[in-house]
Amino acid sequence: MGLAVLKDNELIEWKTRTFKGSWSAMKLKDILYALKCYIEDNGITVVAIKKPDELRSSSALDRLVSEITILAKGLKVKVYSYSLSQLKKSYSTEKICSKEALIKLVVKKNPNIIPEFNKELRNKNSYYYRMFEAIAVAQI
């Protein structure tokens, strides 16, 4: 899961958080508890979620998004959700924008995340993509 915190439109924190193990009710509970703590510890007032693409979604992912929305509203936090295509349109004027191009635009806008971008370029498996997407969603 990618997390990004902005204050006055400035990126102040960004990270990737993983939750090991197969999907279960306990994993969902752990994710929601971690998010609740993150929201409360950082004084978050708005949560932005990248909507899963229909072709890549699952019932577990749909439930997670639903539960995050319920959690945020219960904490009196506004919730917005955006699709990948909405993110691409907000960052690029090109008709076709790849996920990689989107991430390069996010990095260009936030030079302080260049070290993570360089690490991602060396990774065999993508690790930071969720974080870059979280930053893109937060800055929309």
Q: What one-character DSSP code corresponds to residue 9?
A: T
Beta partners for residue 11, in sequence order? 6
Tell the residue number behind the tokens 């929309």, with chain if given: 140
Domains, in order of start, for the chain: 2-138 (3.30.420.10)
CA–CA dist 97, 32 (Å, integer): 32
Q: What does R_g of the chain's alpha carbons equal in angstroms?
A: 15
pLDDT of residue 48: 86
Q: pLDDT of the chain along its 140 residues, tens only?
A: 888 888 888 888 888 899 999 999 999 999 999 999 999 998 999 888 887 777 777 888 889 989 999 999 999 999 888 888 788 888 777 776 788 888 898 999 999 999 999 998 888 878 788 888 889 888 88
Q: At what angle do helices 114-122 and 129-138 cross, to 10 degrees?
A: 150
